[in-house]
Structure 1
Amino acid sequence: MAGAAPARVLVLGLGYSGRHLATLLQARGIDCSGTVRDTSAAADNGLQRHRLAPGQPVDVALREAVRACDAILCSVPPDADGDPALRLLDDALQQATSLRWVGYLSSTAVYADRDGGWIDGRSVADAGDDTARRRLLAEQQWRAFAQVRSCASAVFRLPGLYGRGRNALVQLAQSKARHVVRPGLVFNRLHVQDLATAVLAAMQRPAGDALYLPADDEPAPPQDVLAHAAALGGLPLPAAQAWDDPAVPASLRRFYNSNKRIDSRGTREALQWQPRFPTYREGLADAWAHGDGR
């Protein structure tokens, strides 16, 4: 059974996922603030924002937010030394006497190619590239911090995120979509609103050293998603390209190099959570209804 939500939450990194989590928490009446690299950018629905950037001092207001919070969720990308936010806030975190839960948003990129096979919470994180090593190091750092502090922790290994404002409809409408095809390739997705509800569920069910793999119900070929979005929005479908075509950027080819399916049943059972958007079809329909691609 779900327990009480934390009273005060600090989101480190108010990017796409962090903003959606903060919006959900505010809607539930939870006191939430977050960090950004530049506080001069447009505000997020009245959300209190603190500057957190390498080479910049941590101000008094952010130190107080760290000291007072019950839960911290970090979505800051890692660097070669792990999690930069954890390093920048080390002194403040040592004084966070109210802290009871920490969470870290990681990636399923920590798993090597499975040739279309399944991964779940018991699978070995065996990817050996720089991206995976950085993610795993940041995970380990947050887990170690939680162990020393004797507080609950959760790592969320995520597939590709999408939602309103960031989806195939938008890419097609802006002529930025790439119709890259690798035969047999599938992967899962996760709507950003479903990520937010999964994180809240984890906060309400604190556990020691928890690992979650929230994902949708349908590992699908990316070209199927693009074709569905084009049909939904009446938008032209770009010409197809083979994934190993030299014209495809190397960074994009690496994205298509990993072929795996996510089994999220363990996560759903542990959190008593179900995605509102079980496939890309429901997610794209919601985005279309709210003006994306028009």
Structure 2
Amino acid sequence: MKLFVFGLGFTGRRFAERARGRFSTIVGTVTEPAAAARVAAETGFTMRAFGPDADDASIAADLADSDALLVSAPPGAAGDPVLPRYADAIAASRIGWIGYLSTIGVYGDQGGAWIDETTPAAPRSERSTVRVRAEEAWCALGARSGKAVQVFRLSGIYGPGRNPIVKVREGRSQRIVKKGQVFNRIHVDDIATTLLASLDRPRPGAIYNVTDDEPTPPQTVIEHAAALANLPPPPEVDFETADLSPMARSFYGENKRVRNRLIREELGVTLAYPTYREGLAALAGDAV
């Protein structure tokens, strides 16, 4: 059994590491040849360069010989980067399971309401609009090729080395307050658990929200992270006057509470970190 991962970044790499026992060969991509050599040495995976300025000649043969495909490479302004180059190779391959990693950002702003997978996508930004088009393109490939394509809409990802405790310790955290604002989050290991469960239960065209149980105000999470780090929380900053990048500010323009019932009931997933409290407690020792 062979797994191919387009985009072996934080999430793709964690899934591949968890999937070692399921596959005899794992092939992944990063955007530059030098990075491919480094990641291959770190992980033991076969690595290829794939990006705007790189396209390893071995990728087509790798896909032809793969059984499962995870797509973690995000779309750019021109859309999905994989399909224009490899749609035909994927359709002709023996790949039986395709997982496409998307974002809950495709739901746009829901005014703080609870939503699930039956809620229509309502993207507000061009970034999210492009993401919806990429989801649709992958599902269309699955429909015409007979392959099981599943879309996984992820909430805010955190995990080892990438979490609020690290930011508090490094002085990079802001305690931004916007009345009524909440976000869902998801630990990277719970994403991997969900993907592994889907491998055993493929459903063509499925869409899953991969998120925790408790949408929470961001300042509450920062306060908890600071307490675990034995540090004072950073001062409160009003959202209206906060120094935020345009992308970060756009996140605060969307407010929703996301349900995860489907991954639990259909895929049998039990989250190891159902809220930020369990997740950050497990990471407190890693953040030193």
- 2:218 is the counterpart of 1:222: yes
Q: Alignment partner for residue 8 of structure 1, among 2, 8, 12?
A: 2
- Is the contact made by 2:273 and 2:279 (CA closer than 8 Å) also made in structure 1? yes
Q: Match of 2:85?
A: 88
Kindly provide the CA deviation profile for residues 37-60 of structure 1, in whole angstroms up to 9, marking residues without a partner as x.
123232242111111122434312
The alpha carbon displacement at 1:249 in A equals 3.4
The alpha carbon displacement at 1:91 in A equals 4.6
Question: In structure 2, the residue corresponding to 1:66 is in which secondary structure?
Answer: helix
The alpha carbon displacement at 1:186 in A equals 1.0
Q: Match of 2:194?
A: 198
- 2:261 is the counterpart of 1:265: yes
Q: How many residues align?
A: 284
Kindly provide the CA deviation profile for residues 70-105 of structure 1, in whole angstroms up to 9, marking residues without a partner as x.
111101111233210222323532441x11111110
Q: Match of 1:46?
A: 44
- Which residues of 2 match residues 1-294 of structure 1 at below 5 A? 7-41=1-35, 42-43=38-39, 44-60=42-58, 62-96=59-93, 98-245=94-241, 247-289=243-285, 291-292=286-287, 294=288
The alpha carbon displacement at 1:243 in A equals 1.0
- Is the contact made by 2:177 and 2:238 (CA closer than 8 Å) also made in structure 1? yes
**In structure 2, C-alpha distance between the alignment counterparts of 1:242 and 1:179, rounded to whole Å:** 9
Range moving further from structure 2, 270-279 or 36-45: 36-45
- Is the contact made by 1:161 and 1:190 (CA closer than 8 Å) also made in structure 2? yes
Kindly provide the CA deviation profile for residues 250-283 of structure 1, in whole angstroms up to 9, marking residues without a partner as x.
3322111111111111221111111111111111
Consecutive unaligned residues in structure 1, runs of 5 or more: 1-6
CA pair 227-8 structure 1, distance change in 2 beyond 3 A: same
**In structure 2, C-alpha distance between the alignment counterparts of 1:192 and 1:234, rounded to whole Å:** 24
Give the alignment's TM-score, normalised by structure 1: 0.92
**In structure 1, C-alpha distance between the alignment counterparts of 2:4 and 2:14, rounded to whole Å:** 13
Consecutive unaligned residues in structure 2, runs of 5 or more: none
- Is the contact made by 1:230 and 1:236 (CA closer than 8 Å) also made in structure 2? yes
- Is the contact made by 2:109 and 2:124 (CA closer than 8 Å) also made in structure 1? no
The alpha carbon displacement at 1:29 in A equals 4.8
- Is the contact made by 2:66 and 2:95 (CA closer than 8 Å) also made in structure 1? yes
CA pair 212-30 structure 1, distance change in 2 beyond 3 A: farther
CA RMSD of aligned residues (A): 1.5
The alpha carbon displacement at 1:64 in A equals 1.8
- Is the contact made by 2:32 and 2:54 (CA closer than 8 Å) also made in structure 1? no
CA pair 77-57 structure 1, distance change in 2 beyond 3 A: closer
Aligned partner letter, 1:52: F
**In structure 1, C-alpha distance between the alignment counterparts of 2:210 and 2:122, rounded to whole Å:** 19
The percentage of counterpart residues that share the same residue type is 38
Query: Greater share of helix residues, 1 or 2?
Result: 2
Aligned partner letter, 2:68: A
Question: In structure 2, the residue corresponding to 1:166 is in which secondary structure?
Answer: coil
**In structure 2, C-alpha distance between the alignment counterparts of 1:30 and 1:269, rounded to whole Å:** 30
Aligned partner letter, 2:147: C
The alpha carbon displacement at 1:28 in A equals 4.1
The alpha carbon displacement at 1:246 in A equals 5.7
**In structure 2, C-alpha distance between the alignment counterparts of 1:179 and 1:125, rounded to whole Å:** 29
**In structure 2, C-alpha distance between the alignment counterparts of 1:173 and 1:103, rounded to whole Å:** 35
Give the alignment's TM-score, normalised by structure 2: 0.94
Aligned partner letter, 2:44: G
**In structure 2, C-alpha distance between the alignment counterparts of 1:94 and 1:269, rounded to whole Å:** 30
**In structure 1, C-alpha distance between the alignment counterparts of 2:78 and 2:281, rounded to whole Å:** 40
Question: In structure 2, the residue corresponding to 1:176 is in which secondary structure?
Answer: coil
**In structure 2, C-alpha distance between the alignment counterparts of 1:200 and 1:232, rounded to whole Å:** 31
Q: Match of 1:3?
A: none
**In structure 2, C-alpha distance between the alignment counterparts of 1:184 and 1:143, rounded to whole Å:** 35
The alpha carbon displacement at 1:247 in A equals 3.5
Q: Match of 1:4?
A: none
Aligned partner letter, 2:52: P
